[in-house]
Amino acid sequence: MDLTGKRIMLIGGAGLVGSHIVDMLTKLPVSEIVVYDNFVRGTRQNLSAAAKSPKVSVVEASMSDRERLRQEMEGMDGVFLLASLWLGECVNNPRSAWEVNVLGTWNVVEACRDLGVQRLVYSSSASVYGNALETPMTEEHPFNNRTTYGATKIANEQMLRAIYEQHGLPYIGYRYMNIYGPRMDYRGTYVSVIMKVLDRIFSGQPPLIYGDGTQMYDFIYVEDVARANILGMQADVADEFFNIGMGTGTTIDELVDMLLELTGSDLKPDYLPQEQSFVTYRIGSVEKAEKLLGFRADTPLLDGLKKVIEWRRSQ
């Protein structure tokens, strides 16, 4: 879709990924950018730079409020759906997980269909795969997920496929690997390992590593993810899911070493037994996104982590 003059809504646009997409959209010739967020996790501060643009407006409401959502979505050309309860919240409140993530997504999908929205870019997750059963982990990898969070993402993916089949709603879905960058949540109950390690380093305590540190993940910088979203909105391809990652693995040991080096710390990590069962290996193949969307993440982990540290120090 050509974005010139288009009206774009970001549901969950005040969060980590959404707010970076908003920043990028303000530099494009779209006519209107509406952030629809209930601020359960995102913040007004995340939008402070973008809010200076006259194109940007904010609606504080939940996607669970079906009537309000429909009213605000009237006339939108493109919708980014980023809102979701996060992994830890879904563990603690499985009912809310289904109500918000699945029913809330259905409210958005139904309104897109009824209002003739031209394109929906949906945020799924690499959690749909669970632990890797085969490598490289392509989009054909089985749904080996065992979490409620991942189950809601799988349910939504299936919902989108079905609605495409029945009504042809043009959508694509992104299965993100581990996203990091400025504006990551560092105050909530579920914060990323990067924030936990930085908190320990900044308070002069050894970083804690749960397990043996060999767990390997694919970390992708948030501005790369935002760029992938814009490309996805501009693309013509529909009814497809894509891995969005760097395509390279980093162990927790390596990640902690980088953070120690970048902060100039000589602390040594402490190893503790892994209390919960987590995914221990997840690196996505990035070929499909490159081939069909022309997307390739290009921020090296060290550069991205430097920006996170600068931002965290400024908070």
Name the residues that contact ligand NAD, by CB under 6 A.
11-12, 14-18, 37-42, 62-64, 82-84, 86, 100, 104, 123, 125, 176, 178-179
Shortest Cβ 229–ligand NAD spacing (Å)? 10
**171 near 119, Cβ under 8 Å?**
yes
- At closest approach, how far in Å is the CB of 179 from ligand NAD? 4
State which residue, 206 or 312, has the beta carbon closest to ligand NAD: 312
When the beta carbons of 17 and 258 are compared against ligand NAD, the nearer one is 17
Shortest gap between Cβ of 185 and ligand NAD (angstroms)?
Answer: 6
b/e for 177-212, b at 16 or more Cβ within 10 A? bbbbbbbbbbeeeebbbbbebbebbeeeebbebbee
**Angle ∠(197,200,205) on CA atoms, nearest 5:** 130
Work out how close the CB of 154 gets to ligand NAD at its nearest, in angstroms, rounded to a whole number: 12
- Minimum Å gap between C-beta 286 and ligand NAD is 15
- Secondary structure (DSSP) of 163-195: HHHHH---EEEEEE-EEE-TT---SSSS--HHH
Q: Which residues contact 114 (CB under 8 A, 6 or more apart)?
A: 70
63 vs 228, which CB is nearer to ligand NAD?
63
Tell me the HSE value of 27 on the side-chain side, using a 13 A CA sphere. 8
Residue 217's closest CA among 175, 179, 251, 257? 251
* Antiparallel, parallel or unpaired: β 270-272 and 208-210: parallel
* Residue entry with tokens 């309860």: 85
Distance from C-alpha of 97 to C-alpha of 171, rounded to nearest angstrom: 22
Nearer to ligand NAD, 18 or 249 (CB): 18
| Contact of 171 with 235, CB cutoff 8 Å | no
- Closer by beta carbon to ligand NAD, 9 or else 258: 9
Residue 129: CB minimum distance to ligand NAD, A = 11
Closer to ligand NAD by CB, 83 or 260: give it. Answer: 83
User: Which of residues 95 and 268 has its CB atom nearest to ligand NAD in the complex?
Assistant: 95
Beta carbon of residue 268, minimum distance to ligand NAD (angstroms, whole number): 27
Question: Encoding tokens for residue 260?
Answer: 């120690």
Considering Cα of 190, then 191, then 196, then 202, what sign does the dihedral take?
Answer: negative
